[in-house]
Structure formats: C-alpha cells, structure tokens
Amino acid sequence: MLEVEAVQAKGRHAPLIERTSFTVEVGELILVQGNSQLQRSGLSLALTGRLRPDKGTISWDGSDKRKTLRRRSSLIDSPRVNQMEEHMRVRDYAAEMLSYMPHKMLKRPSTEQWLRDHGLEDLDNLWEEQLTPDQRIRLVVALAGQEKRSDLLVFDTPSRHANHTATWLPRLHRLARNEEHPRAVVAVVPRISTSWHGLTARIGETAPKPYVPSGLPLDELFTPRTAQEDLS
C-alpha cells in the first residue's frame, strides 16, 4: 500500500506540493488532480522517491525510506524526465527503456521481438511526432507493464496524449488489476473526469479516500459518455 500523509514540498517562488494526503492499495487505480505540470511532476517524483518532501511522509508497505520507494516504484512517461524525446523513433525509445529493466535471461530480447510480442509492431518504424494518442498510450502502458519489480506505477499526466479519459484510463485500470502482477497505479492529471467513480485525490487536499469496494469491474467505476463531455 502507498500511504501519502500531509506531504508538502517547497518550490522556488511558490509551494511545489501543497499539503496532500491519500492512500492506494495494490490492485487499485487512483486519479490525483494537480493544476500545473510543475505540481504534477513534483508529486510524481516524490511518490517514486526521486524528490524529498519538506514535510509529511510517503511510505510503501509501512516503510518511509526513499530507497524503498525507488526500488518498488516506476515513474512512467514524465515530461522532461523520461518521456519519449522529439525526433526519436519508437524502436530506439523502447530499446532505451528496456535497457533499464532487469531480465531473467542473460540475453535481453530484441526490441523488434518485444514490439511484436506486445502487438506494437506497427509502431516500430514511426517517429515520435507520427504517433497518434492511442499509439502513445499503448506504448507507454506496455513499457510500464514490463516493470516486473515495480508494485507502484506512477503516470505523470497521461491525459496530455489524449482528448478524453477513455483513451488511457481503461488501460491503466487493467494494469492495476493484472492477475499475474497486480499493482497500485497512480495517474496524476490536470482534471478528473466526472465519468470516473473510483479513487480520487487532489494536490492540496487531505480528505480521507472515499470507500470503493474492492474488485468492482471497470464499467461500474468508469462510465464515459461522449468525448466532449469527457475531456481530460
């Protein structure tokens, strides 16, 4: 379980993270709203042990050591941190991301084979600027699922790739509820869709998390209407 208790972090001119609290368990997806990209990236870095809060605690399974957070978590597609760079091919980005991950075999599988195994062979030769929103989400979610040691996945503003929540939220929900490796999944976003009825939190708020019965199917947690009504 990830527990965030009254976390705060200073910024250069204004608070980077205002007093924030929430919890999320393995098998759950929570959407956390932050107004600015700086806030969202700051919280994402703190949740994964890459930024030390000035006040409050962030703990995983009772341990508030940053090295535990870094070891048990992954930061996914964070702007200016580990997002796909402009003028980069998918095959090169995937190869770079896969090179950071441990593999059981001594020989790492080829990037081409990995893309085929994950149904992404159509992206192999594409440049960053050629990717559609759905293709971007497919790629980053597949790479996130490859993080075998990570029980916590933090997505920094996945909604920037898509016009509405339905493009990315179901994929993150499936990651959280994966039968072989369930995870706690956090999506830090600029806006929480009214179509989402699951766990939510907001940077700058410390209200207790709402109760959501464990194991609810996605169609009871997320009921998208139209793209216009469900803008991220």
Residues 6+ apart with CB under 8 A from 230: 164, 165, 166, 193, 194, 195, 224
Tally of domains in the chain:
1
Element at 68 (helix H, strand E): helix 66-72
CATH for 67: 3.40.50.300
pLDDT at 99: 85
Residue 209 gets which letter from DSSP?
Answer: P
Residue 141 lies in a domain: no
Residue 120 lies in a domain: no
**CA–CA separation, 97 and 62 (whole Å):** 29
Residue 213 lies in a domain: yes
**CA–CA separation, 175 and 154 (whole Å):** 11
Could you write out the DSSP letters of every residue in 77-122? S-TTTTSPPTT-BHHHHHHHHHHTS--SSSSPPPHHHHHHHTT-GG
**CA–CA separation, 69 and 77 (whole Å):** 17
| Structural domain span for residue 18 | 2-85+150-221
Paired strand residues for 102: none
Taking CA 200 as the corner, what is the angle to CA 198 and CA 145, rounded to the nearest 5 degrees?
75
Could you write out the DSSP letters of every residue in 16-51? SEEEEEEEE-TT-EEEEE-SSHHHHHHHHHHHTTSS
Residues 6+ apart with CB under 8 A from 15: 8, 9
- Per-residue buried b or exposed e for 127-148, using 16+ beta carbons within 10 Å of the residue's own CB: ebeebebebbbbbbbbbbbbbe
Answer yes or no: are the C-beta atoms of 196 and 225 closer than 8 Å.
no
Residue 135 lies in a domain: no
Mean pLDDT by 10 residues, the chain (232 residues): 96 91 96 96 97 97 94 94 90 90 59 92 94 93 91 96 88 95 97 92 86 79 68 58
Residue 134 lies in a domain: no
Residue 142 lies in a domain: no
Residue 66 lies in a domain: yes
Residue 79 lies in a domain: yes
